[in-house]
Amino acid sequence: MKGLRERVASKCSSKSAIDTQNKSLTSDCLDQPGSSGDSKFSKGFLWSSFFTAAFSVFETYRESPPTTSEKKGSHTRNNGWTSAVKKIVAGGSMRRIHERVLGPSRTGISNTTSEIWLLGVCYKISQDGSNADAATSNNGLADFTHDFSSRILMTYRKGFDAIGDSKFTSDVGWGCMLRSSQMLVAQALLFHQLGRSWRKPIQKPLDQKYVEILHLFGDSEASPFSIHNLIHAGKAYGLAAGSWVGPYAMCRSWELLARCKREENNLEHEALPMAVYVVSGDEDGERGGAPVVCIEDASRHCLDFSRGQANWTPILLLVPLVLGLEKVNLRYIPSLQATLTFPQSLGIMGGKPGASTYIVGVQDDNAFYLDPHGVQPVVNISRDGIGADTSSYHSDFIRHIPLESIDPSLAIGFYCRDKDDFDEFCFLASKLADDSHGAPLFTVAHSHKLPKSVGRTDTSNDNSGVQEDDSLGVMPMNDAEAPVNEDDWQLL
């Protein structure tokens, strides 16, 4: 691990200032109910569901105009009640109750000069003006903020067309893993179409390729990578509207959806112009153990994607993992940190138990993430919408969580543009496994015939060992847990 840190540290340098506008680095951040897939119902989730459902009543009342008779008979009483509720919410009392149940929110950047890694890019943060002029000292912080806010954010939406034969017109309370996966794949498309140095535009017209990427993730069947199409493609893995899904099933669903879309279109009109390779262990992960990045399998995926026309193509690697029982085994945290320094990094689908997020960066032992749990009205952007309002797809709020607190069931993503990029990834991954002291996240091999050089060790004694991924299953909502009307749900 030390060798890898020395290697990646040599690449780290302060970036030039891109955005000089002042942006808020803190906000009230609430960890809302959702899913990491493998977590069972928790006390925090149930309390969060209660608060969310309760306040949907207040929002429903507020949005529904009273009838004439209601105005005459109960206007004063109702007005006083709703005013009191609004005062409580505005005053932060309910917010504090919510945080008391689910845990305190953490936002902003800690008071440290430690470097920040964000999807393979390093930012040096200086808070001591004595070593450099003030403008230079703040460049790293401003550049990091601009980079973070340029990542595409996918959140809960309400008001879209019903998903399939269900009555769900919102994914509030159950769609956070799907949204986290959308963010990771959207980032892969940004890398592929616009490059790692791309930043969100300040002025219009917008970049056509950027608009086309957002269109792919609209909330309708017309958008190839909508949750509608994800759920339809993932039925074989148990995906269903209103149910929670684990990282493994989510990765496999993306693999199947990409294949379906590839069969519908020719090579020149691929919605996802890259091969998708889900990295698993022996016997497709059924026997547990560290997943193996097989070079022969990666080459085969590229060959299949190109319909036999090329030995290598851009490739998206998805690595689902289970790194403990109820919490992450601390032995894996240095390796998790290191993956975010890879130039090929797409981040991590994971978060707190019961609440999936998209982790994109790390500073010391804290992980920075984008939170899908905010509720927003549906927005479908057309392919030529270069004048569209895309503000709901980005966030300036810097949220973070201790790595040791994340759910042990997660998935890591990597994007390799070409064979040289893939070779570099394999070198870094092999070095990471060698430095893991017998606890690699995953290993690299040329073929399945070669034995793995390192395997996961038994860590059951510390109650945080590795278990087989049981996230293939989903947990359906029963009537008591489902919202009466999803459209009326509001996030606190």
Which of 97-106, 116-125, 143-152, 282-291 bottoms out in mean pLDDT, i.e. has the lowest?
97-106
Domain membership of residue 50 (yes or no) is: no
Count of structural domains within the chain: 1
Domain membership of residue 137 (yes or no) is: no
Domain membership of residue 1 (yes or no) is: no
Structure-token pair, residue 255? 């693999």
Catalytic residue among 31, 147, 219, 371: 371
In this predicted model, what pLDDT tens digit does every residue of 94-105 receive, in sequence order?
Answer: 334 334 433 444
- Residues 370 and 150 sit within 8 Å (Cβ to Cβ): no
In this predicted model, what pLDDT tens digit does every residue of 196-231 receive, in sequence order?
Answer: 999 998 888 899 999 999 999 999 999 999 999 999
Q: Which DSSP symbol is given to 354?
A: T
Cα 79 to Cα 37, 57, 86: the distances in Å are 41, 14, 10
State the alpha helices, DSSP H only, in 234-391: 247-264, 295-305, 333-339
Domain membership of residue 64 (yes or no) is: no
Catalytic residue among 29, 122, 176, 426: 176
Domain membership of residue 22 (yes or no) is: no
Which pTM was predicted?
Answer: 0.73
- Residues 111 and 358 sit within 8 Å (Cβ to Cβ): no
Domain membership of residue 404 (yes or no) is: yes
Average pLDDT score over residue span 24-35 = 36
- Residues 4 and 428 sit within 8 Å (Cβ to Cβ): yes
Give catalytic status of residue 373 as yes or no. yes
Give catalytic status of residue 371 as yes or no. yes
Average pLDDT score over residue span 131-141 = 57
Domain hosting residue 265, numbered range: 93-126+143-445
Mean pLDDT of the chain: 75
How far apart are the C-alpha atoms of 360 and 475, rounded to whole Å? 27
- Residues 234 and 248 sit within 8 Å (Cβ to Cβ): no
In this predicted model, what pLDDT tens digit does every residue of 386-402 receive, in sequence order?
Answer: 889 999 999 999 999 99
How far apart are the C-alpha atoms of 290 and 440, rounded to whole Å? 7
Domain membership of residue 222 (yes or no) is: yes
- Residues 424 and 131 sit within 8 Å (Cβ to Cβ): no
Our CA angle for 353, 477, 474, nearest 5°, is 60
Catalytic residue among 373, 407, 416, 469: 373
Domain membership of residue 199 (yes or no) is: yes
Cα 23 to Cα 29, 147, 198, 398: the distances in Å are 16, 12, 19, 10
